[in-house]
Structure 1
């Protein structure tokens, strides 16, 4: 279980549920802007990495992933440019072709002599920071459920869907455990859908990471999110441990009162579940669909050029 290879006939599904409530306008506490701004930056980086990975270092994008992003606050619905209620999930090629815009950003990079220099880079923007309204988490999960069910039916041999919910508050439209359980009840032949929860806090030093028991929590909301979270499959346990998190058999995909600097870690760990070797190491050299073009085929000696491999 949780070992299906990803290829063009067996893509993976990543579904992000992003809290857009008014409290996301609060400072992140790390001098990096608001919670909404930090979350948007992390998600844009994640999506950009997914696009680069599926390009194999070249121009052509291979549809190894389907991606959906649902925002929930004053409104609830898909927020990717080009997505709609009728098509809430996009193949990664469509994602690559339809950023909301491309911004020029300044980044500090090594200069090769021990220092750093500012460099202007182009950054695709798929998600903007939003902070407006309440926290209708149950409705967001309910909105995602039929999409995930339909995807599982259409991709029975694929790795199970990965759903990552990021919030900084308590659900304002009821208890989300039943809705999360219904999603976890959906499955492909490779296992049940995975639901992970990241609860943001502007405070440091109080995070509970990947717990294996609800006994660590005094907060009723933490108990709810714990019970709404899936147990981590082995590949994700390994990924979390590699980044220095304390995990054990039975650990769940939950970070509670997490520092916003953990957002990127959590998103990266969550997506590493899609393959035993991790998202960043995904290499598909023998798609079940066959080679998509002459550029995909091995060289005459049977080997692939470095450029044929996906990379970040």
Structure 2
């Protein structure tokens, strides 16, 4: 289980539900930015990484991922440029071809001699910050449920979808327990849908990362989000461990009072952990034109 090869016949689905409520205007601790701005930057970083993962270094992007970003605040709907109300999920090729714009940003990077230098880089932007309204988490998961159900039916041999909910507060339209449990019951032949929850903190506070128990969570909302989070399958446990996180068996895909660096790490884990073997077509240099059949006549 949770070991299906990711390839062009069996893509992986990554869906993000991002809180765009009014409280996301608050500063996100150490970032110096609002939560909405810092989260949008993290999401754009994830999308850019997904595009890079699916390319061989040239301009061609291969369809290993399908991606969707749903925002929920004053409105609930797709916020990834190139998607729309009828198409929450788009291919990574469409993502690569349809940035909202390309910004020039200044970054400080190592100079190779122990110092740092400022360089200008081009950064594609697909999602802009937004913060308005309440936190209709139930509506967000309700919008996601039929998308995940139909995707699983169409991709029965694929790695199961990963749904990541990022929020800074509690749901304002009821508890999402029922709809999330229904989503987690869906799946492919390779396993059930994985639902992870990330809680953002506006103040420097002790984070809880990948716990395997709700014992230390005194906030009832945090305890509920923990209960609604799936256990990390082996590939994600290995990926989190490789990035320096002390994960234990039974650890769940749950962060509480998360800082920006941990959220970026977690989103990166989500993309890289499902492709340990599936990008062989790229890393092993298989023929670009073998879209339909592998070297032995089997599906690639």
Q: Same fold (TM over 0.5)?
A: yes
Q: How much does 1:296 deviate? A: 12
Whether the 8 Å contact between 2:64 and 2:92 is mirrored in structure 1 is yes
Gaps of 5+ in 1: 299-312
Residue 293 (structure 1) aligned with residue 289 (structure 2): yes
Distance in 1, Cα, partners of 2:71 & 2:191: 26
Aligned CA distance change for structure 1 residues 243 and 286 (closer, same or farther; 3 Å): closer
3-state secondary structure, aligned to 1:46? helix
Corresponding residue number in structure 1 for 2:297 = none
Q: Distance in 2 between matches of 1:111 and 1:216?
A: 42
How far apart in 2 are the matches of 1:56 and 1:25? 38
Are 1:4 and 1:157, in contact at CA under 8 Å, matched by a contact in 2? yes
Matches within 5 A, 1:73-152: 73-152=73-152
Q: Which runs of 5+ in 2 are unaligned?
A: 295-300
> Following the alignment from structure 1 to structure 2, what is the Cα–Cα distance between the partners of residues 114 and 223?
44
1:49 aligns to 2:49 (yes or no):
yes
Tell me the CA shift for residue 272 of structure 1.
3.3
* Residues 54, 63 of structure 2: 8 Å contact kept: yes
Q: What is the CA-CA distance between 1:154 and the residue it aligns to?
A: 0.6
The 1:286–1:297 alpha-carbon spacing in structure 2 relative to 1, beyond 3 Å, is farther
| 8 A Cα contact 1:203 1:259, kept in partner | no
CA distance in 2, matches of 1:285, 1:137: 38
Superposed, 1:242-281 pairs within 5 Å as 242-275=242-275, 277=276
- CA displacement 1:99-141 (0-9 Å, x = unmatched): 1111011112233333222211110001111111110011100
TM-score, normalised to structure 1's length? 0.89
Task: Provide the rounded CA distance (Å) in 1 between the counterparts of 2:199 and 2:64.
Answer: 28
- Contact 2:7–2:279 at 8 Å: present in 1 too? no
CA contact (8 A) 1:210 1:255 kept: yes
Taking a change above 3 Å as real, the CA distance of residues 8 and 294 of structure 1, as seen in their structure-2 partners, is: closer
SS of the aligned residue for 1:82 comes to coil
Alignment map for 1:8-23 (pairs within 5 Å): 8-23=8-23
Cα distance between partner residues in 1 of 2:47 and 2:90 = 12
Q: 1:6 deviation in Å? A: 0.5
**Runs of 4+ that moved beyond 4 A:** 294-298
Q: Aligned partners of 2:278, 2:53: CA distance in 1, in Å?
A: 8
Partner in structure 2 of residue 310 of structure 1: none
Please state whether the residue corresponding to 2:145 is helix, strand or coil: helix
Where does 1:182-201 land on structure 2 (aligned, <5 Å)? Answer: 182-201=182-201
| Cα separation, partners in 2 of 1:161 and 1:201, compared to 1, 3 Å | same
From the superposition, tell whether residues 83 and 122 of structure 1 become closer, same or farther in structure 2 (CA, over 3 Å). Answer: same
Distance 2:180 2:205 in 1: 28
Relative to the length of structure 2, the TM-score reads 0.92
Stretch moving more, 80-89 or 154-163: 80-89
Closer, same or farther: CA 140–294 of 1 in aligned 2, 3 Å: closer
Indicate if the aligned counterparts of 2:149 and 2:186 stay in contact, CA closer than 8 A: yes
Count of matched residue positions in the alignment of Structure 1 and Structure 2: 292
> Aligned partners of 2:95, 2:40: CA distance in 1, in Å?
16
Q: 1:218 maps to which residue?
A: 218
CA distance in 1, matches of 2:217, 2:8: 42
CA 1:295–1:167 in 2, change beyond 3 Å: closer, same or farther? closer
In structure 2, how many angstroms separate the alpha carbons of the residues matched to 1:81 and 1:259?
A: 26
CA RMSD of aligned residues (A): 2.2
Distance, in Å, in 2 between the alignment partners of 1:103 and 1:184 is 37
